[in-house]
């Protein structure tokens, strides 16, 4: 069953937000709505903008690109979050599918690797931009401090996770294209993920 892209994105945003909030139902149910709103504005936003960055970059390269929700991933995410009481989040809820609009004889394998490498790095790069945004937000005090700290942690984790250099992660395509560019993004993400 094919779900329209907009509804797939909204479903994925809702489910990842719910998964990052479920722990409260086991530990502090009265905090659920508060944490759900914080998660939606940080984890959900990070996931959504990550996928949209892939899509818009692919379209700039002349590709047909669309987000396709993975219903099995949605179910697995919900089950894993409930079984682990919210301590483990499975974030493979869907992906942007990319189809080059045409192939040119002059476009060799290295050029294709670069195109897919740039498209792939755009998602984690968006998460790292969000880390900077949430860092600034964390200094505004009150609820913004909470949102900022949570947003930094979640988006660092999303960038680090996606930069793992094995298929089907973004990191694999980036690593195949340029090990140096992969290292510039992956190593700081992993270091930040360890110390945040």
Q: Which residues participate in catalysis according to the annotation? A: 51
Report the C-alpha gap between 54 and 123 in whole angstroms. 6
> Phi and psi of 141, rounded to 5°?
85, 165
Where does residue 33 rank: exposed (0-12), middle (13-18), buried (19+ CB within 10 A)?
Answer: exposed
CA-CA-CA-CA torsion sign (75, 76, 81, 83): positive
Using alpha carbons only, what angle is made at residue 103 by residues 98 and 107, rounded to the nearest 5 degrees? 105
Report the C-alpha gap between 190 and 94 in whole angstroms. 23
């Amino acid at each position: 069953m094919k779900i329209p892209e907009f509804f797939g994105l909204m479903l994925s945003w809702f489910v990842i937000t719910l998964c990052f909030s479920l722990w409260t139902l086991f530990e502090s149910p009265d905090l659920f709505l508060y944490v759900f709103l914080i998660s939606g504005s940080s984890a959900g936003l990070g996931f959504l903008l990550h996928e949209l960055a892939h899509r818009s970059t692919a379209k700039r390269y002349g590709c047909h690109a669309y987000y396709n929700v993975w219903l099995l991933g949605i179910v697995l995410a919900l089950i894993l979050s409930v079984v682990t009481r919210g301590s483990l989040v499975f974030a493979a809820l869907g992906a942007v599918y990319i189809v080059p609009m045409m192939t040119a004889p002059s476009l060799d394998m290295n050029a294709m690797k670069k195109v897919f490498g740039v498209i792939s790095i755009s998602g984690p790069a968006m998460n790292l931009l969000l880390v900077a945004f949430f860092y600034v937000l964390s200094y505004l005090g009150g609820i913004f401090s909470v949102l900022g700290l949570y947003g930094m942690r979640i988006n660092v984790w999303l960038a680090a996770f996606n930069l793992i250099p094995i298929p089907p992660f973004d990191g694999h395509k980036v690593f195949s294209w340029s090990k140096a560019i992969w290292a510039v993004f992956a190593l700081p993400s992993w270091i930040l993920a360890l110390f945040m």
